[in-house]
Amino acid sequence: MSSGFTLPGLGGPAEIRIDRWGLAHIRAGSALDAYRVQGFNAARDRLWQLDLWRKRGLGLLAADFGPGFLAQDRAARLFLYRGDMEAEWAAYGPQDTKAIVTAFVDGLNAFVALTEGRPDLLPPEFALTDTVPATWAPEDVVRIRSHGLVRNVLSEVARAKVLARGGGLATDDLRKRLSPPHEPVVPEGLDASDWPDDLLDTFRLATAQVNFSPARMAATRAEAWDWSKVDAHGAVGRRGAAAPPELSEGSNNWVVGPGRTVTGRPILASDPHRIYLNPSLRYAVHLTAPGLDVIGAGEPALPGISIGHNGHAAFSLTIAPMDQEDLFVCAKHADDPDLVRHGDGWEPIRRVAETIPVRGGPDEAVTFGFTRHGPVVAEDAARAFALSTVWSAPGSAAYLGSLAYLGATSPEAFGQALRHWSAPSVNQLYADRDGRIAWFMAGKAPRRPAHDGLLPVPGDGRFDWSGFLDAAELPCAIDPAEGWIATANEMNLPPSYPAEARKIGFEWHEPWRADRIRAVLGGQTAHRLADSQALQADAYSEPALRIARIACAVPAGERGEIQRAQALLRGFDGVLAADSVAAALVEVLWVRHLRPALIAALVPDGATARLIPPGDAQSLIERLETGLAPERRAPLVAQALAAAWETCRATMGEDPAVWAWGRLHRALFAHPLSPLGGDGAWDVGPFPLGGAGASPMNAEYRTDTFRVTNGASFRMVVDVGAWDASVFVNVPGQSGDPRSPHYRDLAGVWSRQDHVPMPYTREAVEAATRTTILLTPEAGA
């Protein structure tokens, strides 16, 4: 099937070949034309998502959706890049980033213009919300920062509050374990005892997804600022009690060198873990032009790809949890609230006035404050709380630094390109046809001469950053002797790395996924593509196994429900399979009963205990195993086990034979507009799912409903050199248009932990083509 369009600005004919699974293969006569077509194609498949992404990031939601979105707009605008644009464009590498982004945006805008005369091309969400897509400026792509992942201001403030309540570092270890072992230094003059509960509401609101509800859409102007709270699951709601976030972001990747594979070719695997969205956060595409032939995934609002291969080298990334932000507490002048202390003098808070358009009413006037440290996220009569973040530095638009490495053909060239990578901080893996493999940690790492980044600090100048570490100061490994490399957000600094001196971060993910991946890969000397696919679907959980063993060790006495529960758990092997009865029981036991009871027992002060959840599983389990006397542990575990049995019985029925983890643990890809009606017709799922947060098949879930919230929506395994054998999956589908056959066609594949082909060579692409879109320049161009 073929169709055609005129695309303004094209230098020559181009085409989009769409294969069986919705993967678009773009061919053009120049690289800039390929990026132009990429923008056009992204809008063709994801226009509603792209438009919402732009309006969220620029703070323009209220103009379309009304006063209920005004507070979120203000929060997002606070974190826009406001620096020098020449420096911004230059920061991403030697390529002409501005020209590339401009071509991409021109293509996107061309499709938007096309919909004005062809409203049938508009996704149905625009009609439902009575809105139209806006056109983009190239600067929109890079100025929006608040969708990127940075850390650790939420943890800094939580730690300060724990210590202010007298909880001590041992108590805070229950909340978040530090690695390498390190004792935070409390800055002189820091006192969090009277910090407001809403201190970070603006930050959380700025980074929240857009969610819709009838009440929010109907909010009046008088109610506008009520919609400023973000709950534990990332949803914006009315003012109320704040809750610690449950969401967790992560990723796995690994590369197996040629000496450990059956074929003698490297294999590279990638499954980034992010919040499950509909449409998917990632979009897969293939760009072919003279000097450019890359395939893989990126974010739909960006040109190029960040995960994939270029026909010689493959690359993938996971989050490396560097500490890229700090909260500075700036003392105000007693007689002038627009002055803050710095050094021996006073500096003005720079105030910026803007107006936010609001549907159905006049624009809203808002004012922002900025200090030398960054945007002011909260203030009172005595203090301004300012956030220093890499977002404020040139070159920190998330993932755009990938443009610099798309043509890399050696580890050394790849590492050199990563000098231009700022955010998010990542573990980058590399493998090429020559059999070479490599790991690089990349991202802007603040240089902190006087503190460790683990607590907020006074903004009087004693604790200011002094620039960023040079990329050469970050760890890397090229062609390691082991013959393979794996990362999973764990603390992976080499033993010889000067962690105390450089202080790039002490808060990493728990080691469970990394330990399991290393155990599997370390035992395989003839690795196959199917082995990497299986490892991405591995549902083993070490903490679940340890919790089951703890539960089986307590005396049951005469309590029948405890005896039955222990009988179920005794044969448990740690695999959280979707059809496993024991998996359901052990997860219910931990998240609903044992973990809350353990935190309450270890942290008797209720206000401090509320700061701990979800808690550090490694620390909590160790404390349960060895930190509690048997006479305290046994009744605690027994009571929790009995309660877990009752919860399973109440939610899944009287007969344990029909219990299963997948009956509770389900993935639903809900369309953001579903709460407004339509009976969920645009939702995809639910699907029963195995795994959990500690499994290589990462599947984080809500503790109140067990609904899966985070995990690998995109998976890829690359056979380096035999490119057409590579596979991927992107759930629920490549398209964001509910009318498209590619809106949900990958969901079943994904739920079976399977993959589909990722054809690369010209012959394979042409054989896989189902639809061709021909694009031509304007007449006379």
Q: Which of 194, 96, 180 is nearest to 138 (CA)?
A: 96
Query: What per-residue confidence (pLDDT) applies to 141?
Result: 98
Burial of 462 (0-12, 13-18, 19+ CB in 10 A): middle
Exposure string for 427-453, b = 16+ CB within 10 A, e = fewer: bbbbbbbebbbbbbbbbbbbebeebbb
Alpha helix stretches (DSSP H) within 503-594: 512-522, 529-536, 542-553, 560-569, 581-588
pLDDT higher than threshold 80 for residue 215: yes
Query: What per-residue confidence (pLDDT) applies to 239?
Result: 73
Exposure string for 694-727, b = 16+ CB within 10 A, e = fewer: bbbbbbbbebeebbbbbbbbbbbbbbbbebebbb
Q: Which of 288, 303, 304 is nearest to 29 (CA)?
A: 288
Tokens of residue 700, six digits: 């984080």
Q: What is the spatial distance between Cα 140 and Cα 38, in angstroms, rounded to a whole number?
A: 17
Q: Are 569 and 589 in contact (CB under 8 A)?
A: no
Q: What is the spatial distance between Cα 549 and Cα 641, in angstroms, rounded to a whole number?
A: 12
**Interval 510-521: pLDDT, tens:** 999 999 999 999
Query: What per-residue confidence (pLDDT) applies to 344?
Result: 96
Residues 6+ apart with CB under 8 A from 752: none
Integer CA distances (angstroms), 317 to 430, 482, 489, 536, 715, in order: 9, 20, 10, 15, 12
**Interval 375-418: pLDDT, tens:** 999 999 999 999 999 999 999 999 999 999 999 999 999 999 99
**Interval 7-30: pLDDT, tens:** 999 999 999 999 999 999 999 999
Tokens of residue 193, six digits: 């005892």
Share of the chain above pLDDT 90, in %: 94
Query: What per-residue confidence (pLDDT) applies to 247?
Result: 57
Q: What is the spatial distance between Cα 462 and Cα 707, in angstroms, rounded to a whole number?
A: 46
Q: Are 196 and 464 in contact (CB under 8 A)?
A: no
Q: What is the spatial distance between Cα 56 and Cα 65, in angstroms, rounded to a whole number?
A: 11
Residues 6+ apart with CB under 8 A from 372: 342, 347, 464
pLDDT higher than threshold 70 for residue 319: yes
Q: Which of 73, 101, 98 is nearest to 86 (CA)?
A: 98
Q: What is the spatial distance between Cα 439 and Cα 454, in angstroms, rounded to a whole number?
A: 26
- What is the identity of the amino acid at 87? A
Query: What per-residue confidence (pLDDT) applies to 244?
Result: 62
Query: What per-residue confidence (pLDDT) applies to 678?
Result: 81
Map tokens 């992107």 to a residue: 730
- What is the identity of the amino acid at 606? G
Average pLDDT, the chain: 96
**Interval 279-314: pLDDT, tens:** 999 999 999 999 999 999 999 999 999 999 999 999
pLDDT higher than threshold 90 for residue 149: no
**Interval 177-187: pLDDT, tens:** 999 999 998 99
Query: What per-residue confidence (pLDDT) applies to 742?
Result: 98
pLDDT higher than threshold 60 for residue 322: yes
Cis peptide before 732 (omega within 30 of 0): yes
Q: Are 111 and 238 in contact (CB under 8 A)?
A: no
Q: What is the mean pLDDT of residues 325-344?
A: 97
Q: What is the mean pLDDT of residues 679-705?
A: 96
Query: What per-residue confidence (pLDDT) applies to 242?
Result: 53
How many other C-beta atoms lie within 10 A of the C-beta of residue 352?
13
- For the CA atoms of 287, 290, 291, 296, the dihedral, rounded to the nearest 10 degrees, stands at 10
**Interval 229-276: pLDDT, tens:** 999 888 999 976 555 665 567 799 999 999 999 999 999 999 999 889
**Full 3-state SS string of 56-91:** HHHCCHHHHHCHHHHHHHHHHHHCCCCCCHHHHHHC
- For the CA atoms of 577, 578, 584, 588, the dihedral, rounded to the nearest 10 degrees, stands at 100
- What is the identity of the amino acid at 156? E
- In DSSP terms, which residues pair with 285 in a beta bridge? 24, 296
Q: Are 279 and 49 in contact (CB under 8 A)?
A: yes
Q: What is the mean pLDDT of residues 113-139?
A: 97
Considering Cα of 197, then 239, then 51, then 751, what sign does the dihedral take?
positive
Residues 6+ apart with CB under 8 A from 157: 192, 195, 199, 200, 327, 456
Q: What is the spatial distance between Cα 691 and Cα 758, in angstroms, rounded to a whole number?
A: 26
SS3 assignment, position 328: strand
- In DSSP terms, which residues pair with 388 in a beta bridge? 326
Q: Which of 635, 664, 634 is nearest to 648 (CA)?
A: 664
Specify the higher pLDDT residue, 431 or 239. Answer: 431
Q: What is the mean pLDDT of residues 136-140?
A: 98
- In DSSP terms, which residues pair with 288 in a beta bridge? 27, 293
Residue 694 gets which letter from DSSP? T
Tokens of residue 165, six digits: 């309540």
Q: What is the mean pLDDT of residues 213-218?
A: 96
Q: What is the pTM of this model?
A: 0.96
Query: What per-residue confidence (pLDDT) applies to 250?
Result: 79
Task: For the chain, give the number of residues.
Answer: 781
**Interval 700-734: pLDDT, tens:** 999 999 999 999 999 999 999 999 999 999 999 99
Query: What per-residue confidence (pLDDT) applies to 743?
Result: 98
Query: What per-residue confidence (pLDDT) applies to 248?
Result: 66
Q: What is the mean pLDDT of residues 42-70?
A: 98
Q: How confident is the model at residue 157 (pLDDT cuts 50, 70, 90)?
A: very high
Query: What per-residue confidence (pLDDT) applies to 245?
Result: 65
**Interval 537-552: pLDDT, tens:** 999 999 999 999 999 9
Q: What is the spatial distance between Cα 397 and Cα 543, in angstroms, rounded to a whole number?
A: 36
